[in-house]
Amino acid sequence: MAIRHQLIHHPPSALWAVLEQPHQYAQWVVGTSDSRPLEGLWPEVGSSIAYTVRLGPLELEGRTTVRRLERPQALELEAYSGSLGTARIAFDIRPWGEKTLVLLNEHPLQGLGGTLHNVALDALLQIRHRAMLGRLAAVVDAQAAGEGSTTGG
């Protein structure tokens, strides 16, 4: 299981303003080149977004479905990536003074990823999550600055 955290220099509402935009996932999810609504009203439980992942010359289509939503503290997703299988991606969102502490927990559920899950895969996920949470913080910063927010740093 790969767990990482990131301190975001804005309140949870600023983070949710990004998480609730299905088109913005491609801006912060590592490897995703585009994202778009697929079913339902994102991020309600059962709604999904479609995305494209590029791995070198390979292009894979996938989808992510909301499995649990407890605003303002939790969002759990199931990502389906074809033959790679599915993964559970959970965001634990905590107010931290005037900032937000985000804990990201991901592990494979089914398919090739679940079958091959090991310590080496978790190490790769840690590297990916470091980049992904950094990008997420940057998107929150940019959106908050565009809305005239004075918090951040």
Non-local (6+) Cβ contacts of 14 within 8 A are: 8, 100, 140, 143, 144, 149, 151
Q: Using the structure block, give the residue that is written with the tokens 């990823």.
A: 113
- Strand (E) or helix (H) holding 45: none
Q: What is the mean pLDDT of residues 36-58?
A: 92
The domain of 130 spans 2-146
pLDDT of residue 104: 94
- Domain count within the chain: 1
110-128: pLDDT as tens digits: 776 666 666 766 677 777 7
The answer to the question of residue 32 being in a domain is: yes
- Position 137 confidence tier, pLDDT thresholds 50, 70, 90: very high
Q: Are 94 and 100 in contact, with CB atoms under 8 Å apart?
A: yes
Q: Single out the residue of 5, 3, 7, 9 nearest to residue 153, CA to CA.
A: 9
The answer to the question of residue 122 being in a domain is: yes
Q: What percentage of the chain carries pLDDT values higher than 70?
A: 88
The answer to the question of residue 152 being in a domain is: no
For residue 45, the tally of other CB atoms under 10 A from its CB is 12
The answer to the question of residue 13 being in a domain is: yes
Residue 132 φ/ψ region, left for φ over 0, alpha for ψ in the -120 to 50 degree band, beta for the rest:
alpha
pLDDT of residue 149: 43
The answer to the question of residue 151 being in a domain is: no
pLDDT of residue 112: 64
Q: What is the mean pLDDT of residues 122-148?
A: 84
Looking at residue 142, which CATH number applies to its domain? 3.30.530.20
pTM reported for the whole predicted model: 0.84
59-118: pLDDT as tens digits: 888 999 999 999 999 999 999 977 778 989 999 999 999 999 999 998 888 776 666 666
pLDDT at 35 over 90: yes
